[in-house]
Structure 1
Amino acid sequence: MEPYHHGELAVQKRAGVSERAAVVSAVVRTEMPDAAAVFLAEQPVLFIGAADARGNVWSSLLTGHPGFITVTGPSSVRVAATLSAGDPLYRTLAGPARLGMIAMDPGTRRRMRMNGTARPTPGGLEIELEQIYANCPKYIQQRVPTWQPATPGDPREGTALTGADLALVAATDTFFVATADPDGNADTSHRGGNPGFLQALGPTRLRWPDYAGNSMFNTLGNLEVNPRAGLLIPDWTTGTLLHLTGTAAVDWDPDHAAALPGAQRVVDFTVERLVRVDHASPLRWSAPRFSRFNPPASTP
């Protein structure tokens, strides 16, 4: 795969960062560096995203004790974990799937992105990687995990956010957004900020500021060519996961961005379907130490 597709290139040009993005593209690898293999072996969670059979994009996570992610070759990893039956990506990962992934360590504010094709194996996945690269630590809140085994609750499905969902949105300082290009090549990105940076404008409408990043515009580039997107909003204290799928659009109006501190653009998200699973994750995380890069959050 080339580092960028035409949607990413178009967004880079519009944002005026084409030259910088071309330089940054040198970090994209097809083979796993030794340091990255060590990093993966230390992680208890892998954030993922993919498009389902209908083209709806979802984001989720896989968990395991450190060592559950193993590098098996120059461009391959094994993940010894599966999703629960109530997870919106459960059926998708039952067959080959184009998967976007982030391995992120909130304790050290390190993260690594990987994109490739996953195939199911007994008890997990084998993934052939096409893109491997590190990301900067900006906007990651520092947290330390503990393991607390729990039984996932029954999934609650809907088409609009409830009061409990809206409370989780208002309190969140971190979420993950999955997108895909028209061929289904998926990407998963991290978004962080002070509580309130993700705003609910109604039971089916969310928005967030697009802060300065690495100039690659993987998420916005995918949205340029495919508006489908999936959000994962974790409750770090209970293990509850809120999965949303719908469409996203980038608002380039500078006046709208100026209303949100630190925003260079604004992203509007329309919820079409949601799945909430209480206690879905066995990880419980300490109270956050907020990133010094977080701009102040505004109120809707």
Structure 2
Amino acid sequence: MTNTTKPTIGLIGASGLLGSALLKALTTQHAKVIVLHRPSSKLPALDAETQTRPLDIGDSEAEVHKALEGIDVLINASSRTDPAVDAAFLSHLANLPKPLKAYIPSDFSLNFTPDEIRDVAFIQGKEALIARARELGIPTTTVHNGTFESFVLSPFTGIDIAAGTLTLYGDAEDRALPITSLAYLAAAVAEIAQLPTLKAEYTVVEYSATGREIAAAIESAGGKKVVIKSFTPEEAAAAKAAGGVEALSAAVRVKWGKGQWPEPGAYTPSAPKRDITKAVQDALDKSG
């Protein structure tokens, strides 16, 4: 793709964890990017070629249309705000004078089935917004990924490096957990946004590791014997009933234990891949 045919990419949420990684990937790839931000936001350092425009998701239709003028692909890396506000924003996108080539919403999660997210309101809300965007005729491209690497080696997935314990559901000891780092996902999304034609969905997985492989990596790096315990169905049900992060954590751990990981639209960016050994060593370095 030549410079004259590159799309203009709008990025919402550039000051967040994922958004800042996306901004870095887009600028590294020399994409034409416009950072869309709340007037009160503190923006990260920007290069001379990166434009900025004020935009609040709760703005009026006229304000949204003005901010998105000339933008071909819109990436939303912000967290959900309010269902009514988000729905109104989608209506504004559907009524743009010049339709978007693609809208990449703030989904960025595992490929859950409806049954797996039955008690996870956060993910259900995202899926409902995606369905609404498509109902409105917005050309929507979802990007899913493996479990975020920053969450894997933590209580979120039942792993306590300091204590040397893995508390796993079902067959997770021998089933592979797909994993994706923020940098790898950002590199993929930046590439996808610049493709001549975008698909309806992509999945970006960097590497995978079984519970047994994670335990071995921890033992090798830390010199401590790892004990594998059981996360029971009763504990999973209680965590889901608690809602919030606990429910999401339980959904991921149960999914891992059952080994159901479809990868529709698998996409591999031209970025170096990490592995579980590197991830464990980095986690130990940070904690130590």
Query: Comparing both chains, which one has the higher relative contact order based on Cα–Cα distances under 8 Å and sequence gaps of 6 or more?
Result: 1
Q: TM-score, normalised by structure 1?
A: 0.26
Structure with more of its chain in helix, by fraction: 2
Q: TM-score, normalised by structure 2?
A: 0.26
Structure with more of its chain in strand, by fraction: 1
